[in-house]
Amino acid sequence: METITAASVPRLRAGVRLAFDEVRGIHVLLFPEGVLVPNTTATAVLQLCDGTSPVAEIVTKLGKRFLGVREADVVDILGRFGQRRVVAWT
């Protein structure tokens, strides 16, 4: 796994899609190998993985919506999704 920095720019990998399941009222992360149900925090991070916003900008945007957002927490979330091969870096 590569080192994630404030300048790293995450995006969802090809074939990965974050969708809202209307029946269950939750977000799901759909990918060729399966489905993940991210928690609210992870969903907020994934929604900002557009391939143009660096981690620092994602942290800033989240900080405007939530209290106590830390870059280390965002990096940890992105690192875990990177290990699951659903997030890539541009």
Q: What pLDDT sits at residue 31?
A: 95
Q: Is the CB of residue 8 less than 8 Å from the CB of residue 22?
A: no
* Residues forming beta bridges with residue 20, ordered by sequence position: 27
Does the structure show a pLDDT above 60 at 1? no
Cα distances (Å, whole numbers) of residue 35 to 22, 31, 48:
15, 6, 19
Structure confidence by residue, pLDDT tens digits, 62-87: 999 999 999 999 999 999 999 999 99
Q: What pLDDT sits at residue 89?
A: 95
Confidence of residue 33 (pLDDT cuts 50, 70, 90): confident
Structure confidence by residue, pLDDT tens digits, 36-62: 999 999 999 999 999 999 999 999 999
Dist CA 32 CA 59 (whole Å) = 28
